[in-house]
Amino acid sequence: MKVLVIGGGAREHALCRSLSLDPDVTALHCAPGNAGIAEVAELHRVDALDGRAVADLAQRLAADLVVVGPEAPLVAGVADAVRDRGIPVFGPSAEAAQLEGSKAFAKDVMAAANVPTARAYLCTDEREVDEALDAFGPPYVVKDDGLAAGKGVVVTEDLPTARAHALACVGTPGGPAGATGRVVIEEFLDGPEVSLFAVTDGETVLPLQPAQDFKRALDADEGPNTGGMGAYSPLPWADPKLVDEVLATVLQPTVDELRRRGTPFSGLLYAGLAITSRGVRVIEFNARFGDPETQVVLARLKTPLAGLLHAAATGTLAAFPPLRWSDGAAVTVVIASHNYPGTPRTGDPIEGLADVADQDEHAYVLHAGTKLGESGEVLSAGGRVLSVTATGPDLSAARDRAYRGVARIRLDGAHHRTDIAAKAASAES
Ligand code: AMP
Ligand code: GLY
C-alpha cells in the first residue's frame, strides 16, 4: 500500500512511524513533514491546506491511502478534494469536520443525539455574554467558536478576564484573528479529563485505548492552556467499563446523528471527556487524532495501522478484526520552545537527538516543530518542538525512560513539564 500523510507535527511523525513499521506499506510519503518524519517518509513541499495540490500529489504518487493529520486541512475540505478523485482518504469531509471547527455545531449535534455535555449558551453580543456569565457564575468557561489550536478556551475565576475574552470573540475591536463573532459560554466541568479516540467509517465505530493529556503549560496544571504538554496510556485509575460506556452514550450516537444528517463522519473521532461526579461529559470533539495523545496510543497499538485506516476510508470497518493492544504503558513528554504557548522563539539548534534511542531502545523522539538547517543540523521551528515517547511494562517504567530521554536533549530556552503521568504512575503501585 502506498500511503501519503498530510501534516508535519509530532502526531504525523507518530502516524508515519507506525505506518513505516507496517509490512503492508510499500511506500510512505508526507507533506510537508518535518526533520524527523524525513527519516521514515519521502517529503513533499505541498501546502497542506490546498486541497487541489494535495489531490494532485496523491494522484501523481498513485497513493492507495491519504491520511489527513491536522484539523485545518480537514475543515478546509482537503479530504473532500482527495475523495473526489476516487482515492481512499482517512479524514472527514469539511461538513463533518465542523464537529471540531465549530463549537456551536458540536453542541447542536450533541443535543440532537442526546450526548451528555456541559450546558452552554451561544452568545453574539455583550448583553448575551453578560447574561450567560451571570447564569453560570465562576469558574467561567469561555470558548471561541472557531478553530484555535487548543488555545481559544479561557477557564477563569476572574469575571473581568472571562468577560474580556468573550467580548473579544464577539467582535469587539481588538478581537482575535479569525473571530467568528460568536462565543460559547458554558458550565464548568469538574473531574479528570480523558481523551478517547475512535476510528469510524461513518457507521461502524472502533474505539482506541484511552489516554490523558496535560493541557496546561506548567507543572501542577498551572499556567495557560497549550495544545498539550504530554500524555500517557493506559489510565489505571479509570473504570474498565469507561470505553464501552462512551461508545454507547457518546461515540456511536454522534456518528449515527451525522449520518442521519447526510454528512457522515469517517476518520478519527476524538472525544475530550470530563469524568465528573455526575458522570461522563463531553468537553469537546475533535475531527482528527489528538496531539500528543496519539504518540502514546499508537505506541500501544499492535494492529498494523495502514489496514485499519484503509478500512475506515473504504467503509469496511464492520469486517475488521478486533484491535490488538500491548498490555504495557506509554508516556510522552513534550519539549516546547522558549515562550510557548506565546509567540515561540525558533531557529535554535537541537542537540542530543541521537542519544535518546542510543541509550534505550524503548524510547524515541517524535519531531513536531523542527527543520533542517543549511548544514543538516536540526533546528527548532515551532512552539511544540518535539516529544520524547517511551514504552514500558508499566507507567513508572515508561515515565522513567521518557524523562531519561528528555534529559539528553539540549535546546536553549526550552521547557517541559516534569509531572507527566506522575500521579497515575504512583497510583499504579
Ligand atoms: P477545548 O479546546 O474545548 O478542549 O478546551 C481546552 C481545555 O479547557 C480542556 O481540555 C479543559 O481543560 C478546559 N475546559 C474546556 N471546557 C471546559 C469546561 N466546560 N469545564 C472545565 N474545563 C473546561
Ligand atoms: N491534545 C489535544 C488535542 O489534540 O486537541
The pLDDT value recorded for residue 148 is 60
142 and 29 in a common domain: no
Best residue among 100, 195, 214 to mutate for probing ligand 2, ranked by most atoms within 8 Å of CB = 195
Under the banding of pLDDT at 50, 70 and 90, the label for residue 147 is: low
- Both 207 and 301 in one domain: the answer is yes
Q: How many helices (H) and strands (E) does the chain have?
A: 15, 24
Centroid of ligand 1 to alpha carbon of 190 (angstroms): 10
Ligand 2 centre from 70 Cα, in Å? Answer: 10
Atom of ligand 2 nearest to the CA of 291: 4
pLDDT at res. 309: 98
End residue of a domain, out of 142, 163, 186: 186
Q: Of 301, 319, 337, which residue is a domain's last?
A: 319
Question: Would the pTM of this model clear 0.85, i.e. be above it?
Answer: yes
Rounded to the nearest integer, the mean pLDDT of the chain is 94
pLDDT surpasses 90 at 182: no
Give pairs for 168-173: CB < 8 Å, separation 24+: 169/142, 169/144, 169/145, 170/123, 170/124, 170/125, 170/126, 170/129, 172/126
Q: What is the 3-state secondary structure (H, E, C) of 24-58?
A: CCCEEEEEECCCCHHHCCEECCCCCCCHHHHHHHH
**CA distances from residue 63 to 54, 86, 106, 171 in whole angstroms, order as listed:** 11, 11, 32, 43
Residues 208 and 315 in one domain: yes
Please check whether residue 377 lies inside any domain of the structure: yes
Is any atom of ligand 1 closer than 6 Å to the C-beta of 284?
Answer: yes
User: 309-320 burial string, b = 16+ CB within 10 Å, else e?
Assistant: bbbbbeeebeeb
Residue 208 shares a structural domain with residue 309? yes
Contact at 8 Å (CB) between 213 and 292?
A: yes
Name the helix (H) or strand (E) containing 363: strand 363-367
The enclosing domain of 161 has a CATH number of 3.30.1490.20
Q: Does ligand 2 have an atom closer than 6 angstroms to the CB of 284?
A: no
397 and 346 co-located in one domain: yes
Number of domain units in the chain = 4
Beta strand segments in 127-249, E: 140-144, 153-156, 183-186, 193-200, 205-207, 212-213, 216-218, 222-225, 230-233
- Work out which ligand 2 atom sits closest to the CA atom of 286: 5
71 lines ligand 2 (CB under 6 A): no
Asked if the model's pLDDT at residue 231 lies above 80, the reply is yes
Atom 19 of ligand 1, residue of closest alpha carbon = 188
**Pocket of ligand 1, candidates 102, 142, 147, 155: which has the most ligand atoms within 8 Å of its Cβ, to mutate?**
155
Do 153 and 229 share a domain, yes or no?
Answer: no
Domain boundaries, position 61: 2-90
Q: What is the CATH number of the domain that holds 81?
A: 3.40.50.20
Q: Which ligand neighbours the alpha carbon of 211 most closely? A: 2
Q: Are 202 and 265 in contact (CB under 8 A)?
A: yes
Count Cα atoms within 13 angstroms, Cβ side, for 330. 28
Quick one: 298 and 362 in the same domain?
A: no
Residues 207 and 276 in one domain: yes
Q: What is the largest distance, in Å, between two alpha-carbon atoms of the chain?
A: 60
Nearest to 366 by CA among 292, 264, 262: 292
In terms of domains, do 198 and 308 share one? yes
The x, y and z cell numbers of residue 181, run together, are 463573532
Asked if residue 160 has pLDDT above 60, the reply is yes
Tell whether 103 is covered by a domain: no
Q: What is the pLDDT of residue 153?
A: 85
Tell me the pLDDT tens digit for each residue of 239-278.
999 999 999 999 999 999 999 999 999 999 999 999 999 9
270 CA from centroid of ligand 2 (Å) = 9
Cβ(191)–Cβ(277) under 8 Å?
Answer: yes
User: Do 8 and 73 belong to one domain?
Assistant: yes
| Chain segment 35-69, per-residue pLDDT in tens | 999 999 999 999 999 999 999 999 999 999 999 99
Question: Looking at ligand 2, which residue's alpha carbon is closest to its atom 5?
Answer: 290
Q: What is the CATH number of the domain that holds 353?
A: 3.90.600.10
Cell numbers 503501585 correspond to what residue? 429
Verify that 272 and 169 share a domain, yes or no: no
Atom 5, ligand 1: residue with shortest CA distance: 153
Residue nearest to atom 16 of ligand 1 (CA): 283
pLDDT in tens, 327-349: 999 999 999 999 999 999 999 99
